[in-house]
Structure 1
Amino acid sequence: MPTKNKPPRPDKRQAPLNARRNMKMAESAHAYVRGNTGKFYEWLDGIEGHTLPEGPAIWICGDCHTGNLGPVADADGRIAIQIRDLDQTVIGNPAHDIIRLGLSLATAARGSNLPGVTTARMMEALADGYERAFDDNASNAAKNVKPEAVRVVMKEAVRRTWQQLAVERIEDVEPTIPLGRRFWPLDKAERTEIHELFERREIANIATALRKNADEKRVDVIDAAYWVKGCSSLGRLRYAVLLDIDGGAVEGDDLCLIDIKEAVKAAAPRYTDQGPDKRMPRDNAERVLEGARHLTPALGERMRAARLTDKSVVIRELLPQDLKLTLEQFTEAEAMKAARFLALVVGKAHARQMDKHERRDWLSVLRKSRTKTFDAPSWLWTSIVELVSSHEAGYLEHCRRYALTPSA
């Protein structure tokens, strides 16, 4: 294990990355849910085949928790709350995204010490928000009610500058990436491959596409490092690359921060019969890119797929407006708003992939299985109860195994 703040050698990364991931997951039950996608998929594998409704075959997030939603800017600078992480995207059952989001919101509510009845009301709000995306008669006023946490992060995203991005992500506005706890050194082969990667015009244009009159031939790699980032993705290849766009004097507006992330096989369940006009690419980076194009087009146009160190990777520029939505503590009223609004965001991403008849039929399915006292599908509530129970037990066992060790 490397000493504190001293980066490990490239051939010694895996152990400290695994240890850091385990400690991040031990911070709270909500963090455990975000980091342990495998437990959610194990539950899906274990339930009976017809327990959940089978929605139309569309691209789904596959890992639709609150941390994977947030502000995303398009090529023209417009900002909206969207799905921002597509590692697990597949052509699958949209019901899986609803349940995963519901689990994330339920554990966030428990972390905020809200009573169980609030969680039940949140699931009603989630169902209502999601269904509104498919209902042409739903009022626009109700569709646009944003919780305070969303309004705050949107205001911050609008005001953000490149300098703020640099200070937050690389802790410096100088044109270098400082090595330390968050950034580790590369070996010679990694550095060489990264330089060669951005000599390719189709990759270099990821940095010039959002800048008028920029030339792919004048994109230069200033610095690069291994990036210790994320939670569930810790242990995969992850690089931060700093680019100079015009080849001249290096200033904030001329710089570009690139995120390179390894794309691995999705654990999310997929439909085997995807339809004649829907095919998932075999390459994992191409799969992530295609999913982004369908679910979050503004993000998809800013991404590229490539190979690096003989692994499939996704490349995207980080913009100052790209922020993670953090829901750690909220009131009962804010919990209702968050559930309804975020479900609507996911619903819109699903609905844009369906034709009129598919939207109508899926909405009809969603509105079934209600009771007189609970205005949400019974399969949704049963799923959340089972998942919260299993994840609470899993979280406590995780803490016993990893947070009590002397190294922790």
Structure 2
Amino acid sequence: MAGKRDRDRKPPDFEGRQAVLSTMRNAKMARSAHAYVRGNTMQFYEWLETRGTTVLPDGPALWICGDCHTGNLGPVADAQGRVEIQIRDLDQTVIGNPAHDLIRLGLSLATAARGSDLPGLTTVHMMEALADGYERAFARATKGKEIGGLKRPESVRVVMKEAVRRSWKHLAVERLEDTKPTIPLGRRFWPLTKEETAQISALFEKGAISQLATSLRARRDDGAVSVLDAAYWVKGCSSLGRLRYAVLLDVDGGVVDGDDLCLIDVKEGVKAAAPRYPGVDMPKDNAERVVEGARHLAPFLGERMRADRLLDRPVVIRELLPQDIKLEIDQLTQSGAMDVARYVAQVVGIAHARQLDHRARAAWLKELRRARSKTIDAPPWLWSSVVELAGSHETAYLEHCRRYALAIA
């Protein structure tokens, strides 16, 4: 019954969207401490501004995720159908300090461990595995060895197996709740204004944008592309409140099967809160920044993204493929926690290492291995940062829950 009430509830008008989205975001963040960490990126950046710069090493300048938690990693397909685990959300990407990605990832894993009721000793070993996995990626790259082909833990193998077998029907049922060539309005999809409808139609009349739908191996490069339907998309957590649209396209007409249909995600690119290195050369347009960062950090995803403008705001456009799913690590087991930490750290390490030459890789690896203590086999700054952040986020999460309870009472 609750699902039916959600579908029957009248969506807000254009002016009322922001208030509804803010309430939904607060509700999502109240679900668990891990959800709060994933949704409240600002607290992490505020910590970096006040404390992190005095205790962290100056890593090499490279494109970082900027919001490197476990939910932002997962299987990603390229235009040729290959699938790899890569970083899949680049909203906060900047040229900055790679130490920031390591700490953010460590905080996410530590929070997931607490949510899984694992002992503190397991968290200690997870941080050691995190450091080991990241360093392994750099060590192999420094020695000129192939840095792909990682050994996947069981939880990752399950996700990859699911990703590879998925088809358009899986994507349609998951995202659109049906396989019909329409976007159902309701809780997740809201109607557009006339201006939004007109501008979305104009956007996909541009050759560079419509080519996103014809770039896949199974489609003709010169196929005609038309907009079948579009809606405002209530999606994400920290991104709720930005422009976000789902656009359903048809390639070559006929709407015969999934190969003819494309689900496009149009997402506003906003100014990154993640700290960047001063004086670095990055695109000033926020959508172009996201696309450029993706090309360096997640090539499979980057090649399937375009930057443009909609309603006079920068937007990132990409086709959602059935294989693009989250690597959900909300629940960890004591036996598998270290394997997961080591694996995701290697994924991030590969994304960082591929951007550097031999000398820069070797120098960063040396810094990572410097000044190890006898009590934990991980960089002291990594451990102390994660401990401090885990404590402050737990306090902030409980306070968030108190305010949310008052708001809905």
For normalisation by structure 1, the TM-score amounts to 0.95
Corresponding residue for residue 301 of structure 1: 303
Instruction: Find the counterpart in structure 2 of residue 347 from structure 1.
Output: 349
**1:48/1:40 Cα in 2 relative to 1: closer, same or farther (>3 Å)?**
closer
2:57 is matched with: 53
Q: Specify the SS of the correspondent of 1:64.
A: coil
CA–CA distance in 1 between the matches of 2:228 and 2:256?
A: 10
Instruction: Specify which of 116, 120, 124 is matched with residue 112 of structure 1.
Output: 116
Tell me which amino acid in the other structure corresponds to 2:368: L
What residue number does 1:222 align with?
Answer: 228
Contact 1:369/1:379, CA 8 A, preserved across alignment: no
Q: For 1:282, what is the secondary structure of its paired residue?
A: coil
Query: Does the 8 Å CA contact 1:149/1:326 hold for their aligned counterparts?
Result: no
Alignment pair present for 1:183 and 2:189:
yes
| Residue 139 of structure 2: aligned partner | 135
CA distances 1:247-278 after superposition (whole Å, capped 9, x unpaired): 2344222000000000000000000033xxxx
The aligned runs of 1:68-79 (5 Å cut-off) are 68-79=72-83
Q: CA–CA distance in 2 between the matches of 1:72 and 1:185?
A: 29
1:158 matched to 2:160? The reply is no
Task: Check whether the contact 1:215–1:246 (CA below 8 A) recurs between aligned residues.
Answer: no
What is the alpha-carbon distance in structure 1 between the residues aligned to residue 257 and residue 7 of structure 2? 34
Distance 1:324 1:249, change over 3 A: closer
Q: Match of 1:118, as an amino acid? A: T
Contact 2:8 2:186 in 1 (8 A): no
Question: Residues 244, 4 of structure 1: CA spacing in aligned structure 2 closer, same or farther, 3 A cutoff?
Answer: closer
Aligned amino acid, residue 165 of structure 1:
L
Q: 1: distance between equivalents of 2:188 and 2:171?
A: 15
CA distance in 2, matches of 1:218, 1:141: 39
**1:204 and 2:198 equivalent?**
no
Q: Secondary structure at the match of 1:135?
A: helix
Alignment equivalent of 1:264, drawn from 259, 267, 270: 270
1:169 to 166, 175, 179: 175
* Correspondence for 1:33 among 13, 34, 37: 37
Amino acid at match of 2:170: Q
Question: Structure 1 residue 369: deviation in Å?
Answer: 2.1
List, as ranges, runs of 4+ consecutive aligned residues in structure 1 with deviation greater than 4 Å.
137-143
Structure 2 residue corresponding to 1:88, chosen from 82, 88, 92: 92
The Cα shift of 1:50 comes to 3.5
Match runs of 1:350-389 below 5 Å: 350-389=352-391
Counterpart CA distance in 2 for 1:315 and 1:157 is: 21
Deviates more, 1:17-26 or 1:248-257: 248-257
Report the CA distance between 1:402 and its aligned residue: 1.1
- Structure 2 residue runs of 5 or longer lacking an equivalent are 1-5
Q: CA 1:80–1:142 in structure 2 vs 1: closer, same or farther (change >3 Å)?
A: closer
- Given that residues 21 and 232 in structure 1 are in contact (C-alpha distance below 8 angstroms), is that contact kept between their aligned partners in structure 2? yes
Structure 2 SS opposite 1:27: coil
- Whether contact under 8 Å (1:59, 1:91) holds in the other structure is yes
> What is the letter of the counterpart of residue 32 of structure 1?
Y
Query: Residues 146 and 91 (structure 1 numbering): CA distance in 2 closer, same or farther, change over 3 Å?
Result: same
Counterpart of 2:50 in structure 1: which amino acid? Answer: G
Kept after mapping to 2: 8 A contact 1:260/1:314: yes
Paired-residue identity, %: 68
Counterpart CA distance in 1 for 2:220 and 2:251 is 7
Q: Who is 1:313 aligned against?
A: 315
